[in-house]
Amino acid sequence: MKVLIVRVGALGDVLHALPAVAALRAARPELTIDWVVERRWAAVLGDEGAGPIIDRVHVAETQRWSQSPASVGTLRSILKLRRELRAERYDVAVDMQGTLRSAVIGWMSGARQLCGYADPREPLAARLYKTKIARQGVHVVEQGAALLGAAMGMVLQPAAVELPHAEWADAWAEELVGGPGIGVRGVCVIAPSAGWGAKRWPAEKFGELARRLDGLGFAVLVNAKRKDDALAGAVIAASGGTAQVAVCNVTGLIALVRRSALVVGGDSGPVHMAAALGVPVVALFGPTDPARNGPWGLGKIAVLRDASSRTSYKREDGVEAGLARISVEAVLEAVRSLI
2-152 and 167-338 share one CATH topology?
yes
**What are 236-257's pLDDT values in tens digits?**
999 999 999 999 999 999 999 9
Q: Could you tell me the pLDDT band of residue 263, with boundaries at 50, 70 and 90?
A: very high
Q: What is the pTM of this model?
A: 0.94
Residue whose C-alpha is closest to residue 166's, from 47, 249, 248, 251? 251
Percent of the chain at pLDDT exceeding 90: 87
Is the sign of the CA dihedral 5, 112, 150, 3 positive or negative?
A: negative
Q: What is the pLDDT of residue 47?
A: 65
Q: What is the pLDDT of residue 316?
A: 72
Average pLDDT over residues 141-167: 97
**Kind of pairing, strands 56-60 and 32-38?**
parallel
Distance CA 339, CA 332 (A): 10
Average pLDDT, the chain: 94
Q: What is the pLDDT of residue 178?
A: 81
Q: How many other CB atoms are found less than 10 A from the CB of residue 266? A: 25
Residue 315 has pLDDT above 80, yes or no: no
Q: What is the pLDDT of residue 319?
A: 85
* Identity of the residue numbered 34: D
Average pLDDT over residues 259-280: 97
Average pLDDT over residues 185-206: 94
Q: What is the pLDDT of residue 329?
A: 98
Spell out the CATH class of 2-152.
alpha beta
Residue 276 has pLDDT above 80, yes or no: yes
Q: What is the pLDDT of residue 307?
A: 76
Which residue ranges make up each domain of the chain?
2-152, 167-338
Please provide the CATH number assigned to the domain covering 167-338.
3.40.50.2000
Average pLDDT over residues 254-278: 97
Q: Could you tell me the pLDDT band of residue 142, with boundaries at 50, 70 and 90?
A: very high
**What are 20-76's pLDDT values in tens digits?**
999 999 999 999 999 999 999 999 998 656 789 999 999 999 988 999 998 999 999
For 39, counting Cβ atoms within 10 Å of its Cβ (0-12 exposed, 13-18 middle, 19+ buried), the class is: middle
**What are 69-116's pLDDT values in tens digits?**
989 999 999 999 999 999 999 999 999 999 999 999 999 999 999 999
